[in-house]
Structure 1
Amino acid sequence: MDSVRATLSPEFVSAGDRLVRHLFDVGLQLGVLRVVFDCETAPLDAAVITEVISGLVCDLDLIVRDAGLAMFALSDERARVAGGGGR
């Protein structure tokens, strides 16, 4: 894995790492939301639901941004290599 990372640009690795972290965060938040909706003994708390969904939307926005940055870094790296500016 380290040999693969060494061939990728630092920008791509950084964006990819952020992407994975944000996906993990969304998974955790979806777990919280599932608990809120699956709870049969307590009424649904609109404030909690709003807060969790708001957090999910923000994290999904970050995921889209990070995916775009990762793809930009990867395509930029490929263009440098193709143009003879590779390492």
Structure 2
Amino acid sequence: MLSQKEVERLYYGLRSHINLQGDEEGQALRALSNEFILRNVNIGESLWDLDSDIGDLHYILEGTFAEYLKRGTHSFILRFYRPGKFAFSEDS
């Protein structure tokens, strides 16, 4: 289970890329932020072998160089920088 700090980090990072329309969307995004699983990735570990079959939105893998969001069969890169800085890439 994610800590509240990790959930907040995900929520505000994702929110910076989404134009929320009202409280319902904000609550839905917060609920989505609670569904992530964070895993540390060791140097040399193959990210593509770390698959999961738990739900549709699987995990963000935090590593030295990047983070990956796995949704279904598609993988996306998420990079987390110092507090308040966030980037999203749709490169797969």
Which is strand-richer, 1 or 2?
Answer: 2
TM-score when scaled to structure 2? 0.24
Bigger radius of gyration: 1
Bigger RCO of structures 1 and 2 (CA < 8 A, at least 6 apart): 1
TM-score when scaled to structure 1? 0.24
